[in-house]
Amino acid sequence: MIHDGRENFGGYLEDFKPGDIYKHWPGKTITEMDNHLFSLLTMNPQPLHIDEHYMKSHQHGKILVNGTLVFSLVVGLSVRDTSGKAFANLEYEKVTHDAPVFQGDTIYAESEILETRESRTKPDRGIVYAEVRGFNQREERVLTLRRRFLVPKRGARQA
């Protein structure tokens, strides 16, 4: 039998139950290159993210990782366990940056399922509402967000 990995990538609507918590692994260590490249690719030349000399006199004393990189990473870490089968991400809300992230920090994530429901317009799919939390290597929460994504029901034809 051949297993191509698609079946275990993400979940169907029936797989998600309110209160379930998914611990996403492995984490990702953010390098200087990750932070600089992301900041420059997104046209964000904020010295907080790219100027080590400037940051020596700042309250943190060192470069801060771009917050939208942390957001993207935390969402990305959650995909394999949650939205890997999704038709679409529908909404992101209540994004909070709970603590600073520095180059060299390793980010881990977990998702808690808050609610699920069937689609009102398409009977073959449903919406999952989850809170996704990012933590550093010291288990300090660094980011929290909520998101909704549209997934198929089990047995529905996949795109």
Provide CB contacts within 8 A for 131, sequence distance 6+: 111, 112, 114, 144, 145, 146
Residue 4 has pLDDT above 70, yes or no: no
Bridge partners of 152, per DSSP, are: 125
- The ranges assigned to domains in the chain are 16-152
Mean pLDDT of 124-142: 98
Q: Give the up-direction half-sphere exposure of residue 50: CA atoms within 13 A in the CB hemisphere.
A: 12
Answer CATH for 16-152 from 3.50.50.60, 3.40.50.1400, 3.40.50.300, 3.10.129.10: 3.10.129.10
Average of per-residue pLDDT values in the chain = 93
Residue 1 has pLDDT above 70, yes or no: no
Q: What is the pLDDT of residue 157?
A: 67
Q: What is the pLDDT of residues 60-109, one digit of tens each?
A: 999 999 999 999 999 999 999 999 999 999 999 999 999 999 999 999 99
